[in-house]
Structure 1
Amino acid sequence: MNLAQYTKEFSYNIRLAYPVILGMLGHTITGIIDNIMVGQLGAAELAAASLGNSMVFVAMSVGIGFSTAITPIIAEGDAEKDTAKVRTVFHHGLFLCTMLGIMLFAVVWFAKPLMNLMGQPDEVVALAAPYVDWVAFSLLPMVIFQGYKQFADGLSLTKYAMYAVIASNVINVVVNYLLIYGIWIFPKMGIIGAALGTVVSRVFMLIYMHISLYRNSKLQTYFKGFTFKEITKPILKKITSLGVPSSMQMLFEVALFTGAVWLSGSIGANSQAANQIALSLASMTFMFAMGLSVTAMIRVGNQKGLQDYKKLQLVARSIFLLAIILEIVFALFFVLFHDYLPMFFLNMKNPELALENSEVISIASTLLLVAAVFQITDGIQVVVLGALRGLQDVKIPTYITFVAYWVIGFPVSYYLGLHTPLKATGIWIGLLAGLTAAAIFLYIRFHVLTKRLIANAVSKAEVA
């Protein structure tokens, strides 16, 4: 096949992906806004928000990863025009997301004492503990929102989540501004104000999503007549069998980055703050690949429902190519502006913080050079993972991600970060090693699997 057969799919891929990308960016921007606003208070406050968010983000990754099981089944049912299947998967998925949201909130709340055992600076832990309480609560509306989002994504209705997240970001900025700095009649709450902004914005996001989908006349059949009597073990088991491995895949990756936060904290508050700045910027560009990953999940799920495996392979590879091109552009951007981007996160006008913040910027600018390289392989692994989820192939990819991140990536980060002069840069070289291994082995898995599906389809056609 020539290149044109892949590039002609770009326009449809982009149309489907851009609302998802904007929605994903919205989630990331919420964290970046918090970091920028909290960063004006000082490096210790920024490190505390980083530590607190790292705990919550691990739990959130489980919730988001689990919810992705809804999308490929919905996409398959939509291609098959099986309304009953779509409806029952939506209801069961929403039920499971609600239960999971409650559980994750409880786990994070009770896990707070772990911060004292991680070798983090005392002043950072003291600031982070109350912050975690509120942000952990925001997991409940966040994970339920994911249930609605994955349902809509499976039907290729990707704009609803985009609007919900954009609106919630506006609310987050306003509430942050009022409560972090104590504007007008509102108390000055510091990083607790940022946590409350996150809670309010996520509750709004959930309400907005429910109302918007409910008011769509074409979706009325999926909302009417819900009762708990409809919940059955076989459907719960099917979604869970896809959701648990998917959540583990995301957990393994997020836990690797969280490990990087903790390793950076053991080096010092400045390294931890620098890590958070570089991670915030890398996460923002990663959302483009995440959006394309969802597109791969939807389109591969559709083709699986139609049983057109040659088209499935072509569509998936077109998305892989598009992701590589985008991530190379971002890599060049990071290389060109690595000295300037970290300055947006810290107050360089305050003479009392100037020396400390200069060190943070120096470390962060070096980390961005490593991030420029690893985001390319990070983009590849996440879009291939999306395609595999579209095929409802989750078990083998789970083993692959575990080995890549925790047998290869983390040991390299640990050794180079804590036992060589590379320090924070060494930690990020470990991230690069893990992501590169994941990208290679996941693509091999996709290639082997689709080749087998195409061969089986050809054999059946010859027999018929």
Structure 2
Amino acid sequence: MNLSQYTKEFSYNLRLAYPIILGMLGHTIVGIVDNIMVGKLGPTELAAVSLGNSFIFIAMSLGIGFSTAITPLAAEADGKNDIDEGRSVFHHGLFLCSVLGITLFLIIFFFKPLISFMGQPDIVVEMAKPYLDIVAFSLIPLIIFQGYKQFADGKSETKYSMWATIIGNIVNVVINYFLIYGIWFFPKMGIVGAAIGTIVSRIVMLIYMHYVLALKPKFHPYFTNFSFKEIKTKMLRKIVDLGFPSAMQMFFEVGLFTAAVWLSGLLGTTSQAANQIALSLASLTFMFAMGLSVAVMIRVGNQKGRMDFVKLQVVARSIFLLAILVEIVFALIFMVFYQYLPRIFVDVNDVNHLVETQEVIYIASQLLFVAAFFQISDGIQVVVLGALRGLQDVKIPMYITFVAYWIIGFPISIYLGLYTNLKAMGIWIGLLAGLTAAAIFLYIRFARLTKKLILDAEQKSINK
């Protein structure tokens, strides 16, 4: 293997990926800021936000996963310089994201009473309900925003969503500061204040994204003929055929991590709060791999449009290698600082919760040590999944992720977490097993698929 053919792609990969990474970090930081600010109120409040967000993350995984179908279709149209097809992808994608956002909100709203039957502490459940109502509504602007974002990404314009999320974060932090703690003349609303900050920030992101694209000359052709008369069954089906398996792939992974939240809740409030801390930090580093995953989806989609499968394979492998190197760095950071990072999220000087806080820090540090190891597996599986989406290969990867997370990972989490002394750490060892299995099987799928595409292209060339 000639390593230089991959490393010379690093520069372009990073230029394409860094705005996506910053944008995705923005999404995650909204949650982390909420956790840090709420964590200062006490472990119970942090556990309530964790429980409420566990439902939101499931819905978000479906919405964001579905919206990723827009990117490879837009990238392929861009590779072919087909404006009409690109416009159709954009309009139909936005329509479907709007319908999906409203549907997900209604599902959470009407199924909210289920959290009372999940074996979670009563005080945590009651505190989580009003928080859940407000944050669930924020899914509508968020999923519509994703429609704009995924299309812009497919056009290799990745900076607009970055700025949208930066602005959204600033709005979120300001509102959180005033409403969580009751600063100045604002009422002290606790975790409900955090929920209001989240919904307002997501509405601001959507408004910004719409107007910044509508005002750019490059996007003017895509904002014409915007009407329900233009909605066609053929394009709807094409996006759904890609979007549904993509949504399920993300759902299976996020569902596994959400199950870890619920399993931790069965162990007690401190385990649940510790799980939320470790999950917040792991999610932060995961966004770097997610950004590279979108970059590989765009570049693979472009090469697919040009029918250059040799270059496609080189481009994809260069991003796989880059992701591995980045995640190794994060793994080392977690291993070195695993005892110190959890302290950011709690008030170590709060004498009223001193014992609980120390227990939260101890459990979270154990989980971060495990997270250090699954950084690499998590990074590999998500970038390979991005490459497969760029190839518009989504159905087999959907089955692979289901087996890896729910047939391999989840049973291990249940057994080690609930039936051994490993407890919360055992739950996370199950996550590590599922992510590693997904990384291996997905890469095998990619290698076989690209090899076949290259051989078929060579055969066609010979026949000519």
Confirm or deny a common fold (TM above 0.5): yes
For the aligned residue pairs, the C-alpha RMSD in angstroms reads 0.5
Q: Which residue of 2 aligns with 1:202?
A: 202
Q: Which residue of 1 aligns with 2:364?
A: 364
| TM-score using structure 2 length | 1.00
Q: Which residue of 2 aligns with 1:254?
A: 254
1:177-204 per-position Cα deviation (integer Å, ceiling 9, x unaligned): 0100011111100000000000000000
Whole-Å separation in 1 of the counterparts to 2:394 and 2:97: 19
Whole-Å separation in 2 of the counterparts to 1:118 and 1:446: 38
Paired residues, number: 464
- Structure 1 gap segments, 5+ residues each: none
Q: Which residue of 2 aligns with 1:265?
A: 265
Listed as ranges, the matches of 1:98-247 within 5 Å are 98-247=98-247
Q: Which residue of 1 aligns with 2:452?
A: 452
Whole-Å separation in 1 of the counterparts to 2:259 and 2:225: 45
Whole-Å separation in 1 of the counterparts to 2:272 and 2:215: 45
Listed as ranges, the matches of 1:34-433 within 5 Å are 34-433=34-433
Superposition deviation, residue 225 in structure 1 = 2.4
Amino acid at match of 1:323: A
Mean CA deviation greater in 3-12 or 219-228? 219-228
Whole-Å separation in 2 of the counterparts to 1:401 and 1:34: 30
Q: Secondary structure at the match of 2:352?
A: coil
Whole-Å separation in 1 of the counterparts to 2:348 and 2:115: 29
| TM-score using structure 1 length | 1.00
Q: Secondary structure at the match of 2:458?
A: helix
Whole-Å separation in 2 of the counterparts to 1:232 and 1:59: 26
1:231-257 per-position Cα deviation (integer Å, ceiling 9, x unaligned): 010000000000000000000000000
Percent identity of paired positions between Structure 1 and Structure 2: 70
- Structure 2 gap segments, 5+ residues each: none
Q: Secondary structure at the match of 2:421?
A: coil
Whole-Å separation in 1 of the counterparts to 2:381 and 2:115: 30
Superposition deviation, residue 349 in structure 1 = 1.1
1:112-142 per-position Cα deviation (integer Å, ceiling 9, x unaligned): 1111111000000000000000000000000
Amino acid at match of 2:342: P
Whole-Å separation in 2 of the counterparts to 1:6 and 1:318: 4
Q: Which residue of 2 aligns with 1:8?
A: 8
Amino acid at match of 1:384: V
Superposition deviation, residue 218 in structure 1 = 1.4
Superposition deviation, residue 224 in structure 1 = 2.0
1:157-181 per-position Cα deviation (integer Å, ceiling 9, x unaligned): 0000000000000000000001000
1:333-383 per-position Cα deviation (integer Å, ceiling 9, x unaligned): 000000000000001111111111000000000100000001110000000
Whole-Å separation in 1 of the counterparts to 2:236 and 2:117: 37
Whole-Å separation in 2 of the counterparts to 1:419 and 1:313: 44
Whole-Å separation in 1 of the counterparts to 2:333 and 2:227: 51
Superposition deviation, residue 217 in structure 1 = 1.1
